[in-house]
Structure 1
């Protein structure tokens, strides 16, 4: 029954106001500070509370709230653990609003009730709320006498709690319900008559019957208005009665729900009912109680001239199974135990307590008074019936469904169970992080790779907690691999370089490195090492990661190896005969990264001739003859090419110029003839007098006119290039140049056959063409 309903009926409020108890930002708000309620009814005391979120410069959080009654020893006791209130009290709290509900109120429940807040930083207690429990009384005010033995009087139904509304009343005359519904009325009354009153809706809590006219009248008073008993046990239902006449002809008990006949003659109670008749009283004893015995029982008596009516409520009997329960209540000093029965036991029942199946001597109260150790189990007993033991949760059992390997994307459920009484509450953790799951099941509708890890199921009740771990291993194919190169800066030839490939996979992936679709490395680590990288290692790489569930390829990785220029190569264009006055292009190329810068030099000159890969001589003249080379350079180094040696001569073919040219050519030809004859004799000697082929050109050594500073030591000698120049009969005939490679080692007979020769032809000077073919002019390029 709610407080509102109680007030509407007969739970009276002396003061209705809002009270806020505060200490800084601590506070408790009550709807009333004084409450009056009728005996046997239900009352609710409600409040709201507040507290600071920070206190003493620290976080402030509520750990416990409870209601208590101030005791003489000063220690506040949670009413839910107080044996005086066992089975009658509920503490309902939600969203900082708490309600204390007390059922079956007794007069000794009248007290001052306080609300207490305990946080991790402090304790706060409210001011008291006063509860008064009272019964109804009939007040008789005599006004006058009437003829005979009657009197005129005023009757009023009173309580120490004045109503805040005007309820309807019920009046009983000699146990018979009357038509009067007012709080008070006046009438004439005779000595044998008794009256009682009740508030409508609370008929089971009527006032005692009183004699209006005189001290003797007909009355019945029940010892208990409500009794609860265990099935199979026995119960005594008692009352006292008085009769205006001493001659009581009959008296018996009956149940109006069944019939109005004497229970001792009811076959359903046959052999189970005994009526005890002390003086001016009667006791109905029912043994071997059954569920069907739950009913209201009333007493009736008759005299020769009077019969007690049966409208006035009697005693309500409730028969339940023998159920005892140990209630565990948390407190700041540890868990408390209270033995509760399915029945509200009257009087001062005696209980027996057990720890680990052993009886504890001296513990007879409904509340267990000793220290509660979570390692033990506890139970209680009453009237030969014992409760189940209470104990902290046992080590949980965690099962996975379905069993076997867990594949990414599948549905997985973890079930956690623990033997505990009271039943355990479950909390799931992943590593040390609490999950927002507070049930015994942890469900993954579509688990992914991040679901792998260590999980903990914690089972907890008010006696203790324990946890069990479980590892989830989600299997999946490799994710997209990530690739990297170390060092990440520019890579120089000869340095150590590592290509790394990594991919999230379970089980771990194996890796394969490719260069241009060719496998270069395979292994579980995914690292491909170059201890001394070379220019040939540059290119596009990618890796593949794979396990038994699939494979994945990385994006391409470009490896750019930087190196100093290699030995430059040089070329002359055009490669055919070059005429005086025409243009000549010298080209230098070198493999280098980054690309090389080129500079052309002429030997014995300090200043470069040109920069760039190509050196153009637009008009060939005599002064262009000489030794040329190019230099290739980048930030990593420099390399020079071999020497290119060119001889240039000019002739005047008319007048004095022709005479000078003729004389010069004659001298040159004579020198060549002498050299050729010398070499021919030398060759015949070395060949054992073998005669050379007349159609072959003569093999000749280096031209002695080459400057000595171009010569190189044997171990440093570079490749040689030969160039020949044709001198024209006239200005229209062209010079031509052929360039060939000569090996840097000592020539042998086979080597000489491999040499290329350049011939200077002078057709305008001599008519003997066969002889002209035998004379050659050699020009070398010395590296």
Structure 2
């Protein structure tokens, strides 16, 4: 087998057909068919030419070979039928007869004409029929399917810009010398007519290419950097701790987005969390709450999405209890217990209990006992509750100080005694008044003048001395008053 590469362009009635020619020769013992091309792409309504050459032995067993019939057919036919005789090709097929040349032209192409075509010839030799295989594959399309292929060459000085090499490509290969039209931001670039175009490209630019085939202009879709991405998450609605949440990033771009990067906003910087169009939090917890965004990138630039806030709901954490004042409590003083618990949504109800008692003591985040007694001593705990659940704190012991109680009892007794003194004094005064009243009725009271007290005292001392000297008699007593005893 011998192969070669050629390019042919056939024009008929203003329509253009493009041939990717790879010459193929098939044969054995001098028999063979060589096709000018094995693949042809043509536009609907245009005209296509398919050509080949064929060979055969001039003499076989001293018998000169002559060609009796040549024709083209579709290899899908069960029995080869001359293309010209098929009703769907009537009036649209033309053969050219030249020695050893095989040529067919099909005009007014239809998309139904897409098929594999083969050439066959018959000779006067016994069994002297030969068909060239595999033949020519014809594809008829209504659109050249132009696409702009992008190759990123370098970055511009401007961080929002890249230098790119663009190439206009068609599913039907166009000849290298064909004229193209380029558009940047919908404005025609008059200086560019080749299939390639080098330019600087910002994230807001669009570029497309076009070709004119016959009277019709065909354009490619524009190429552009990613649009601002949008972020969605599922399941939608309330996100519960422990569940699985999937974030999805969507952005339009041509060429398509090649890289998705997920970020979570931290206090001072962005935290990279992963890559891929979807980001899954398989067992989400409260620390995953926050603002998330995704960045999309292709060869022409990148874009960052707006932030989406993920709010993870969870029941109250283990509550903590604080007591003010701390330590042992002075009996009779005021004591405040405070319950604190982290929860999302926030705790909506606090309930206070005393250990070994079923009924609650109070409700609210703060529980105050204004006159603390020894019977108030014991273990207290609180229950925190929100829409996701409830949680009890550990018990907290609150007691009255024994030393303080003893002192307080002494103080109380002293206060009672001080309160009783005026009462006792008042009672004594009343009794004294009653006694004075009785004495006044029985005997007039003697009045002793304080100024004569000293002279009275001196006289009393003198009389006592005289009695001692006289044997106990007063000086004014007579002897007759003395009793004498004789023995």
TM-score (norm 1): 0.39
- Residue 257 to residue 411, structure 1, CA distance change in 2 (3 Å): closer
TM-score (norm 2): 0.58
Residue 469 of structure 2 corresponds to which residue in structure 1? none
Range that drifts further, 403-412 or 385-394: 403-412
Give a deviation string over 1:368-413, Cα, whole Å, max 9, x none: 3222333122333343332223323323333444543334455655
Q: How does 1:320-339 map to 2 (within 5 A)?
A: 320-321=140-141, 322=143, 323-333=145-155, 334=162, 335-339=164-168
Any conservation in 1 of the 2:380–2:397 contact (CA below 8 Å)? yes
1:527 and 1:681 map into 2 onto residues whose CA distance is 54
Aligned equivalent of 1:274, options 89, 94, 104: 94
2:202 and 2:382 map into 1 onto residues whose CA distance is 62
1:298 is the counterpart of 2:46 = no
Identify unmatched segments of 5+ residues in structure 1: 1-9, 11-36, 41-103, 107-134, 138-169, 177-219, 570-588, 592-641, 643-679, 692-783
Residue 426 of structure 1: how far off its partner (Å): 4.0
Residue 357 of structure 1 corresponds to which residue in structure 2? 186
2:224 and 2:140 map into 1 onto residues whose CA distance is 26
Give a deviation string over 1:674-730, Cα, whole Å, max 9, x none: xxxxxx999454556369xxxxxxxxxxxxxxxxxxxxxxxxxxxxxxxxxxxxxxx
Residue 224 of structure 2 corresponds to which residue in structure 1? 391
Q: How many residues align?
A: 379
Aligned equivalent of 1:238, options 51, 54, 65: 51
1:483 is the counterpart of 2:305 = no
Give the match's secondary structure for 1:372.
strand
- Residue 527 to residue 342, structure 1, CA distance change in 2 (3 Å): farther
Residue 508 of structure 1: how far off its partner (Å): 1.0
1:305 and 1:289 map into 2 onto residues whose CA distance is 38
Any conservation in 1 of the 2:110–2:140 contact (CA below 8 Å)? no
1:682 and 1:560 map into 2 onto residues whose CA distance is 47
- Residue 231 to residue 417, structure 1, CA distance change in 2 (3 Å): same
Any conservation in 1 of the 2:120–2:132 contact (CA below 8 Å)? no
- Residue 312 to residue 684, structure 1, CA distance change in 2 (3 Å): closer
- Residue 568 to residue 433, structure 1, CA distance change in 2 (3 Å): closer
Any conservation in 2 of the 1:515–1:539 contact (CA below 8 Å)? no
1:457 is the counterpart of 2:294 = yes
2:46 and 2:368 map into 1 onto residues whose CA distance is 90
Residue 414 of structure 2 corresponds to which residue in structure 1? none
Residue 484 of structure 1: how far off its partner (Å): 4.5
Relative CO higher for 1 or 2, CA cutoff 8 Å, sep ≥ 6? 2
Aligned equivalent of 1:556, options 391, 395, 416: 395
- Residue 274 to residue 558, structure 1, CA distance change in 2 (3 Å): same
- Residue 519 to residue 291, structure 1, CA distance change in 2 (3 Å): same
- Residue 461 to residue 448, structure 1, CA distance change in 2 (3 Å): same
Q: How does 1:204-283 map to 2 (within 5 A)?
A: 222-239=35-52, 253-258=72-77, 262-275=82-95, 283=103
Residue 545 of structure 1: how far off its partner (Å): 1.9
- Residue 221 to residue 512, structure 1, CA distance change in 2 (3 Å): closer
Residue 170 of structure 2 corresponds to which residue in structure 1? 341
- Residue 301 to residue 375, structure 1, CA distance change in 2 (3 Å): farther
Q: How does 1:542-621 map to 2 (within 5 A)?
A: 542-559=381-398
- Residue 224 to residue 567, structure 1, CA distance change in 2 (3 Å): closer
- Residue 689 to residue 330, structure 1, CA distance change in 2 (3 Å): same
2:47 and 2:165 map into 1 onto residues whose CA distance is 31
1:238 and 1:359 map into 2 onto residues whose CA distance is 39
Aligned equivalent of 1:417, options 243, 250, 255: 250
Give a deviation string over 1:534-593, Cα, whole Å, max 9, x none: 999975443332224443221112346769756659xxxxxxxxxxxxxxxxxxx989xx
Any conservation in 1 of the 2:102–2:119 contact (CA below 8 Å)? no
For the aligned residue pairs, the C-alpha RMSD in angstroms reads 5.3
- Residue 351 to residue 289, structure 1, CA distance change in 2 (3 Å): farther
Aligned equivalent of 1:466, options 283, 304, 309: 304
Give the match's secondary structure for 1:394.
coil
Any conservation in 1 of the 2:75–2:117 contact (CA below 8 Å)? yes
Aligned equivalent of 2:341, options 503, 508, 512: 503
Give the match's secondary structure for 2:307.
strand
Aligned equivalent of 1:317, options 127, 131, 137: 137
1:457 and 1:225 map into 2 onto residues whose CA distance is 48
1:262 and 1:375 map into 2 onto residues whose CA distance is 57
Any conservation in 1 of the 2:295–2:303 contact (CA below 8 Å)? yes
Any conservation in 1 of the 2:328–2:400 contact (CA below 8 Å)? yes
1:263 and 1:467 map into 2 onto residues whose CA distance is 59
1:240 and 1:272 map into 2 onto residues whose CA distance is 22
Any conservation in 2 of the 1:377–1:390 contact (CA below 8 Å)? yes
**When you count helix as a share of all residues, which structure comes out higher?**
2
1:368 is the counterpart of 2:201 = no
- Residue 590 to residue 299, structure 1, CA distance change in 2 (3 Å): farther
- Residue 561 to residue 439, structure 1, CA distance change in 2 (3 Å): farther
1:681 and 1:500 map into 2 onto residues whose CA distance is 55
Give a deviation string over 1:147-185, Cα, whole Å, max 9, x none: xxxxxxxxxxxxxxxxxxxxxxx7534434xxxxxxxxx
Residue 291 of structure 1: how far off its partner (Å): 4.3
